[in-house]
Structure 1
Amino acid sequence: MESEPPIQVLFVDDEPGLLSAIRDYLTIVYSIGVEVCNSGSDALTREDLFAFDCLIIDYEMPDIDGIVLLTEIRSMNQDIPIIFFTGKGHEEVAIQAINAGADYYIKKGGNPEELFTELAHYIHKGVRRYRAEKSLVEKERQYRAVVEDLTEFVCRLDPDGVIIFVNSAFLNNLQVPYDILSGVNFHSLYPDHQGKIQDIIEFCDPDNPSAEIELPFTGVHGKIIWHQWTIRVIYDNVFNILEIQAVGRDISKQRETERQESVLRNLGLSLATSSSTEAALNSSLYAAIEISECQTGAVYLHNRMSGKLTPFLEQGPYRAALYRFLEDFFKNQNDILLAPGNPVYVSLTDLHQYETRFSSFAFIPILRFGDIMGWIILASDNLAEIPFEIRHPLEGVTSQIGNVISRIEAEEALRDALIESEERYMQLSETSPDAIAILTDGTIVYLNPAANALFETANMDDFFRKPFHDLLDADLQKWFEGIIKTKIRGQGPSTGEGFLMTKSGKRIYGELITVPISHAGEDAILLLIRDKTSQRMQEQALIESERRFREMADLLPEPLFEADIQGNLTFCNRGVTALFGRTNLQDPNICKIYELVSEQEHLRFSTILNKVAAELKPMTGDFIAAGDTDEPRIIHLSLAPVIKNDQFSGTRGILVDITENKRYQEKLHHMIEEKDVLFRELHHRVKNNMQIISSMLQLQEEYISDDVILSALHDCEQRINSMALVHETLYRTESLAEIPFDHYLENLSQAVTEGFATVRDIRTDIDVGGIRLSLDTSVTIGLIVNELMVNSMKYAFVDRPSGVIRIKVACNDESCLLEYSDDGVGLPAGFDIEKTSSLGMRLVRILARQIRGKLLIENGVGAGMICTVQFPKQEGRK
């Protein structure tokens, strides 16, 4: 909010001391700006005299006294506040000052502080009033400037409806000066609607203070001007009317346009239903007279024989006068003006050579395919000329006449052709496989043989003893009654389906097609009936099959769904609702297929959907279902493409809630991991125990000096290490059920070789591949290889610096084969594994039998020995 500007005061007095004291006091105490002037003449010559907010004038001054100065100032400005200073004993002067226009007077003398306070009080009081009046005047000026610039009408009325202000827009519209309307009652401008205006004002209240009304004003020359007013009532605090404001505009053009459009619309309806040229031209002439507001009109058509214009229709008064004028008009060869086919308008100034009662004419051409068919001629006895604003709609009256006349002639020709060809239609219907009937006023007048067969009748009289609609079910009856009620000529073919009744009471489901025709010169309906009973039964069976399918789908516990190509769900069984009820989904109304899974799964789900659409083959996947993220449900989703007409048209899917299975699998996996750890620990401890036994045997060897016993203990130690090595290899592998036999044999051969620390270079060649053997078989085969290698190390390479041991294991579908060989001295002569007394070889024989193997030991070709063990596969590789 803007602050008030500081007060500026002009003090006119010839006493310097008083002037200085008052200026200092008002400036310091009240922040009032004070300028001084020492004489009245100086004050009158100041250009900024009336720029001050207040004037203070002393009475006694040498050149001009205060009364004269006051009178001069008031002659120039009646509003500026003036405070008059007088001395004591000059009361009559104070009265003169008040009468001369002073607002206040103050007596000099007394207490200076009281004097200055009183002066400041009068200054503030006068300036507030002066500024308020100036602001009001300025706002009034601005208001009037804005209102005068408006194109809308503005009227201000007192509570009784008397006009206290109108703007120039309203005065210009009424073409009257302001003095005529000032003080006039607003209601009297519309004498026939005063009660309506008063009702509108009384209808308003403080909650609904405004209303709208349209009023006709009779202007100069009796012209009606339509005004649309918005009347607003202004109330005081106790709901009394203070003022009435009315804002309006001229809607005469709008009303005239609406009137013309209404006339043209009615003309269009009349032309659409006209069945003769005369009716169409008569409607057009009537519409042209109504739009132009002319009194008389006529239609003149070109005579094809003579080429002259001849009268065809006339409307309105003074038709004889119009006829006489047109005779004279055409005799003067004015028909040359009409030759181009353009509208011609004749005004009062063009009629000076004719004796006629009319003051203006309009010639509107009637065109048909670009040729002039005739003219609509209008005459007015009160218009100097046809107004320009109605010429375009007037010309619009004739724009469709040519097309309408062409349509009427075509319909008449078609009607004649229909009558002529009716017998041929009847002949065609006799051979038609469809049932055909003709009805007039709802009664059967003809049945073809196919219709008689359909309704099980010998002829028409045997069956149709009652109205046709009684043979139809309720829906068909309603449809057929609507066909009968509709004007037959105005409708096209119509189709309906429903049940009909035959003579024997048999129900037939048929398709009925009605076509409006003319029969024997009367309006009739051609009824085509097609028996669709079989098709209906098939459709019902399909619907029933669909219903059973949906019921069965709802009974399935697995959630089923189907979606279209845009991903919109088109079907869901109850299983889907049950599933997402368990997920605590806040909004179970799923509309999109993406809403089945959680938001973080949308991208992966979209990828699978796109693959189904692209590759047209089923896809599966596990997803997190949509719903509560704190307790998510895991679903297994199977998707399959829906293919129609060799095109991808959507997706079908089934959901399986595998949350519990997943949880059980996780629990089982955890248990397996625990058991795996336990078994590995068990094998580790078995290996440690065997190594402890081996270590104890090594300690025992230190106290034995017999070489035979030492050798036996060393062999036992080697056998124990072989078995311990199996357990060590087992707990170091991923699977406890199988042993990677290649790693095991490499470690075993290295351990045996290191156990016989000699200077000989014994090389081991192992070929096992990726064979994996069970624990029992690995132990057995390991002991066999251990015994054979110990035997080779002891006896095969005596007195030799080097040697080679070859070990190979191979498996086929039925069995496995262990081949062991060395290039040493070979077996002694006459060696028999069954009769040998060597503990190692006896162990080899016993171990081979344990795995149901076939053992063969023999000398090799050239040098060394060969040992083979063939054992069943189930005892070997897993």
Structure 2
Amino acid sequence: MNQWIILHSLEGLILAMNLPEARWKGKTMEDLFDGAEAVIGESGSATLRCKPEFVSMTSIESDMVAKWKRIQDQYWLELTTASDSEAYPENLLKELFSNDFPFRQVFETNQAIKWILDPETGKIVYANEAASLFYGYSREELLSMKITDINILSQELVYEAVHGAALESRHYSLFKHRLKNGEIREMEIYTGPIRLNDKVLVFSILYDVTDRVEAVKKLEESEKKYRSIVENASDAIVITDRGARLLEVNRRFEELLNYSKEELLSFTLEHVLDSNSWQETLKIMPNLIVGKPVTLQRKFKSKEGILIDCEVNAVLLDSDKAMGIVRDVTERNRITKELEKSLAEKEVMLREIHHRVKNNLQVIASLLGLQYENYEDPTLRSVLLESESRVKSMALVHSDLYRSDNFTDVDLKNYFGSLSFNLIRTYEASQRIMLDLEILPSKVTVEKAIPLGLILNELLTNSIKYGFPGDHTGKIRIRLETDEHGLLLKYEDNGFSYDRNFLEKSGSIGLQLIDILTRQLRAKSDFKTDDGIKFTLRIPE
């Protein structure tokens, strides 16, 4: 049996044929057959008389029986010799379903879905058991069906694909197929022509790729969402390879450097960084670790050559790619420099203020000292000396702040130590009174330091004057602790005991000053006079 398939245009130009292209290229139906244009219509069959051109192409001298079908703007023709046309169905089926059919064993032992289609009718000529199990139809049901009963595309598109497979112009398709239960599955189909009794059929192997297609779809959606996020990010984003070649940039990166995306993707980082930043980048790139970002300061270079201060969060995405999130910090750096300049000016001003306050207080203390020298009255001299020590305790705070880098906090350990030893020397008692200081490092504001200093000044003054009068010796112990409630000052001496009434009668304002300053600090105090003086002061945070 001899069979040929011809695909031609409405004008009769041959578009495809199951013969080598060199034989039919440029031919028309009029070149091959007598009166073909007169009989071929929408669909049907007729006997066509062969011209010498067709005889030379096929070596067939017999007239041809043509069956045709119009598919949009083309005709699909199947031609067989007149003598074989009637015997075709019986001969084909006999060979197709014979136990000797060579494909039968391959079909039945392999689990891949396979079938054979008649490209002229779209009928399923043969299907294996795997096809029956997958689609849910019995073998008999499948062999009574056409491909258009399963493929959900239009009949024209389905036949176009089948005809393409028969002509070997199409070997792969991705279609949606409907199972017997109504479920739609994505099918990947590999096709090719085969001959049985010189009849051209289409052999197909089908794979269910629904899950793969869904996964790809989700991946594409995820990538689309990722690209949207990256593209519309407020920060500039750049992805490079190990060689620093720019692989991807977002819109903000284009705007930052004023280059087009096409221009940027032809560059390496060297082109968009200043020389120093590029050299630093070369040093850091080999040390990047996957998933561990590093923050860098770099200067980028715009298309106009303008240097832009940028902060870059760089991370290695995998062994071949790195991503940088780039933020323009030019304005931030400008503001930081202005703040640093302003802060430096304020530091100079505060240092000068503390210096002048300290000097003024020292002047007052000196004046009180001069007055002390000019009077012989013991009571008046005592008042002047106490006033001088109080002024000096305040001046000491400003002296410490003037020498410190911190103009707001006072280190109590240094302050209390200096105040205590200075006062002992002022009263010339350093040889007979021993100081035991245990001051834990702690810092307080000036507002707290001055009242605390004045309180300690009064306690020390009272101990020297009333606890160790004349040449009496003894010991003064001062403790400063910190806990979750704040500061705890503990003061005690082993001198003579005296009570509040004694101090009040003596005309001293020391206890009154301690009470006032305690309230100012919102602190709580406890004053005991058994076996010397014991004073505690709890200062809240």
TM-score (norm: length of structure 1): 0.44
Residue in structure 1 matching 2:146, options 463, 478, 481: 463
Counterpart check, 1:529 vs 2:206 = yes
Counterpart check, 1:868 vs 2:539 = no
Counterpart check, 1:561 vs 2:238 = yes
Summarize the alignment of residues 491-510 of structure 1 with structure 2, pairs less than 5 Å apart: 495-499=171-175, 509-510=186-187
Question: Structure 1: how far apart are the matches of 2:487 and 2:205?
Answer: 88
Counterpart check, 1:620 vs 2:295 = yes
Q: Which amino acid aligns with 2:324?
A: G
Relative to structure 1, is the Cα distance of residues 845 and 830 closer, same or farther in structure 2, using a 3 angstrom cutoff? closer
Question: Structure 1: how far apart are the matches of 2:214 and 2:510?
Answer: 91
Check the 8 A contact 1:816/1:870 in 2, yes or no: yes
Counterpart check, 1:668 vs 2:339 = yes
Relative to structure 1, is the Cα distance of residues 742 and 500 closer, same or farther in structure 2, using a 3 angstrom cutoff? closer
Larger Rg computed on CA atoms: 1
Counterpart check, 1:855 vs 2:525 = yes
Match of 1:684 in 2: 355
Check the 8 A contact 1:639/1:653 in 2, yes or no: yes
Deviation at 1:687, TM superposition (A): 1.3
Deviation at 1:736, TM superposition (A): 1.2
Summarize the alignment of residues 838-853 of structure 1 with structure 2, pairs less than 5 Å apart: 838-853=508-523
Check the 8 A contact 2:455/2:513 in 1, yes or no: yes
Summarize the alignment of residues 55-454 of structure 1 with structure 2, pairs less than 5 Å apart: 421-422=100-101, 425=104, 428-429=107-108, 434-438=113-117, 446-448=125-127
Q: Which amino acid aligns with 1:855?
A: S
After superposition, the C-alpha distances for 1:137-190 in whole angstroms (9 at most, x for unaligned) are xxxxxxxxxxxxxxxxxxxxxxxxxxxxxxxxxxxxxxxxxxxxxxxxxxxxxx
Residue in structure 2 matching 1:723, options 394, 397, 410: 394
Question: Structure 1: how far apart are the matches of 2:305 and 2:491?
Answer: 63
Give the match's secondary structure for 2:469. Answer: coil
Deviation at 1:780, TM superposition (A): 0.8
Counterpart check, 1:578 vs 2:246 = no
Deviation at 1:432, TM superposition (A): 5.1
Residue in structure 2 matching 1:822, options 471, 493, 504: 493
Deviation at 1:498, TM superposition (A): 3.4
Deviation at 1:670, TM superposition (A): 1.4
Match of 1:601 in 2: 277
Relative to structure 1, is the Cα distance of residues 835 and 426 closer, same or farther in structure 2, using a 3 angstrom cutoff? farther
Deviation at 1:617, TM superposition (A): 2.2
Match of 1:746 in 2: 417
Counterpart check, 1:797 vs 2:468 = yes
Match of 1:757 in 2: 428
Relative to structure 1, is the Cα distance of residues 480 and 534 closer, same or farther in structure 2, using a 3 angstrom cutoff? farther
Q: Which amino acid aligns with 2:509?
A: L
Give the match's secondary structure for 1:678. Answer: helix
Relative to structure 1, is the Cα distance of residues 815 and 771 closer, same or farther in structure 2, using a 3 angstrom cutoff? same
Relative to structure 1, is the Cα distance of residues 629 and 714 closer, same or farther in structure 2, using a 3 angstrom cutoff? farther
Question: Structure 2: how far apart are the matches of 1:437 and 1:572?
Answer: 50
Relative to structure 1, is the Cα distance of residues 731 and 778 closer, same or farther in structure 2, using a 3 angstrom cutoff? same
Question: Structure 2: how far apart are the matches of 1:830 and 1:696?
Answer: 31
Deviation at 1:685, TM superposition (A): 1.4
Residue in structure 2 matching 1:484, options 159, 167, 174: 167
Summarize the alignment of residues 34-45 of structure 1 with structure 2, pairs less than 5 Å apart: none
Q: Which amino acid aligns with 1:642?
A: L
After superposition, the C-alpha distances for 1:611-637 in whole angstroms (9 at most, x for unaligned) are 4326x4232232222448985322222
Question: Structure 1: how far apart are the matches of 2:440 and 2:429?
Answer: 30
Give the match's secondary structure for 1:735. Answer: coil
Question: Structure 2: how far apart are the matches of 1:871 and 1:854?
Answer: 7
> Tell me, which stretches of 5 or more residues in structure 1 are unaligned?
1-418, 487-493
Deviation at 1:841, TM superposition (A): 2.2
Q: Which amino acid aligns with 1:463?
A: K
Alignment size in residue pairs: 439
Question: Structure 2: how far apart are the matches of 1:733 and 1:724?
Answer: 14
After superposition, the C-alpha distances for 1:387-417 in whole angstroms (9 at most, x for unaligned) are xxxxxxxxxxxxxxxxxxxxxxxxxxxxxxx
Give the match's secondary structure for 1:798. Answer: coil
Deviation at 1:706, TM superposition (A): 2.2
Match of 2:379 in 1: 708
Match of 2:217 in 1: 540
Check the 8 A contact 2:300/2:308 in 1, yes or no: yes
Question: Structure 2: how far apart are the matches of 1:755 and 1:831?
Answer: 26
Check the 8 A contact 1:560/1:655 in 2, yes or no: yes
Match of 1:782 in 2: 453
After superposition, the C-alpha distances for 1:96-147 in whole angstroms (9 at most, x for unaligned) are xxxxxxxxxxxxxxxxxxxxxxxxxxxxxxxxxxxxxxxxxxxxxxxxxxxx
Relative to structure 1, is the Cα distance of residues 779 and 479 closer, same or farther in structure 2, using a 3 angstrom cutoff? farther
Q: Which amino acid aligns with 1:635?
A: C
After superposition, the C-alpha distances for 1:455-506 in whole angstroms (9 at most, x for unaligned) are 999555653699x9995759x95896377258xxxxxxx8523347889999
Give the match's secondary structure for 2:307. Answer: coil
Q: Which amino acid aligns with 1:575?
A: R
Relative to structure 1, is the Cα distance of residues 480 and 814 closer, same or farther in structure 2, using a 3 angstrom cutoff? farther
Check the 8 A contact 1:856/1:869 in 2, yes or no: yes
Relative to structure 1, is the Cα distance of residues 525 and 835 closer, same or farther in structure 2, using a 3 angstrom cutoff? farther
Relative to structure 1, is the Cα distance of residues 445 and 818 closer, same or farther in structure 2, using a 3 angstrom cutoff? closer
Using the aligned pairs only, state the percent identity. 23
> Tell me, which stretches of 5 or more residues in structure 2 are unaligned?
1-97
Check the 8 A contact 1:565/1:650 in 2, yes or no: yes
Check the 8 A contact 2:247/2:265 in 1, yes or no: no
Check the 8 A contact 2:165/2:192 in 1, yes or no: no
Check the 8 A contact 2:257/2:303 in 1, yes or no: no
Deviation at 1:640, TM superposition (A): 3.3
Q: Which amino acid aligns with 1:613?
A: I
Check the 8 A contact 2:246/2:264 in 1, yes or no: no
Give the match's secondary structure for 2:281. Answer: helix
Q: Which amino acid aligns with 2:308?
A: R
Question: Structure 2: how far apart are the matches of 1:596 and 1:820?
Answer: 68
Relative to structure 1, is the Cα distance of residues 427 and 758 closer, same or farther in structure 2, using a 3 angstrom cutoff? closer
Summarize the alignment of residues 509-520 of structure 1 with structure 2, pairs less than 5 Å apart: 509-514=186-191, 517=194, 519-520=196-197
Question: Structure 1: how far apart are the matches of 2:156 and 2:211?
Answer: 18
After superposition, the C-alpha distances for 1:650-707 in whole angstroms (9 at most, x for unaligned) are 3333222222112111111211221122122112111112122222223333443322
Check the 8 A contact 2:299/2:310 in 1, yes or no: yes
Question: Structure 1: how far apart are the matches of 2:470 and 2:367?
Answer: 32
Deviation at 1:814, TM superposition (A): 1.4
Relative to structure 1, is the Cα distance of residues 718 and 448 closer, same or farther in structure 2, using a 3 angstrom cutoff? same
Counterpart check, 1:734 vs 2:405 = yes
Question: Structure 2: how far apart are the matches of 1:432 and 1:685?
Answer: 99
Q: Which amino acid aligns with 2:125?
A: Y
Counterpart check, 1:638 vs 2:317 = no
After superposition, the C-alpha distances for 1:701-734 in whole angstroms (9 at most, x for unaligned) are 3443322112111211110111111111112111
Deviation at 1:772, TM superposition (A): 1.0
Q: Which amino acid aligns with 2:537?
A: V
Match of 1:123 in 2: none
Check the 8 A contact 1:726/1:775 in 2, yes or no: yes
Question: Structure 2: how far apart are the matches of 1:748 and 1:759?
Answer: 13
Larger RCO (alpha carbons 8 Å, 6+ apart): 2
Question: Structure 2: how far apart are the matches of 1:827 and 1:621?
Answer: 67
Check the 8 A contact 2:411/2:444 in 1, yes or no: yes
- Segment drifting more, 698-707 vs 432-441: 432-441
Give the match's secondary structure for 1:613. Answer: coil
After superposition, the C-alpha distances for 1:809-854 in whole angstroms (9 at most, x for unaligned) are 111121211122233x232268688998531122122222221222
Check the 8 A contact 1:739/1:772 in 2, yes or no: yes
Match of 1:380 in 2: none
Q: Which amino acid aligns with 1:844?
A: I
Relative to structure 1, is the Cα distance of residues 507 and 854 closer, same or farther in structure 2, using a 3 angstrom cutoff? closer
